[in-house]
Amino acid sequence: MNIKGGFGTSVCSYSPLSSLNLQWINTITSTVLMLLSGTSIQKSFLVPIFALQAPASIISWIKGEYGVWTAFLLLLVRLFLHIPVSHGRGKLEGVILSLTIAGYLAFQHFSRGGSLGKAFDQGSLVATICIICVLVVPCLLLIGC
């Protein structure tokens, strides 16, 4: 992983697992988790994952036309996590922070479900798949595929 250059350069030699594709997977799955109702995870932890792992095009789109939403999301981050998230984008620290938060969310999801088998029931299957994706993507970015 190119730590100084950020995620703009290719992390993986295999095209479907490029850093941009991994960022899009993480962005989509964290957005789905934010919108799902009935999950046992705290949604406030998804905001920093989204802010740290979203592709630069999404962040610039949000900053350009939807600055109010960006300010709202940053306010949520400021209220719940006193971590300067934007400084970790594209750096090793950001990936480690994303991995830590994703691990906590996975632990929270699987332990509140009662058992591993219940996490894969029909009612929580989408949330379980999203949690696994949000956990695996930073792992892949960390090890550099």
* pTM of this prediction exceeds 0.75: no
pLDDT at 38: 67
CB under 8 Å to 55, separation ≥6 — which residues?
7, 20, 23, 24, 27
Reduced 3-state DSSP string for 109-145? HHHHCCCHHHHCCHHHHHHHHHHHHHHHHHHHHHHCC
pLDDT at 4: 45
pLDDT at 1: 44
pLDDT at 132: 87
pLDDT at 82: 57
Mean pLDDT by runs of 10 across the 145 residues of the chain is 47 65 88 78 81 84 73 74 65 86 86 72 77 88 74
Q: Looking at this protein, which amino acid is placed at residue 118?
A: K
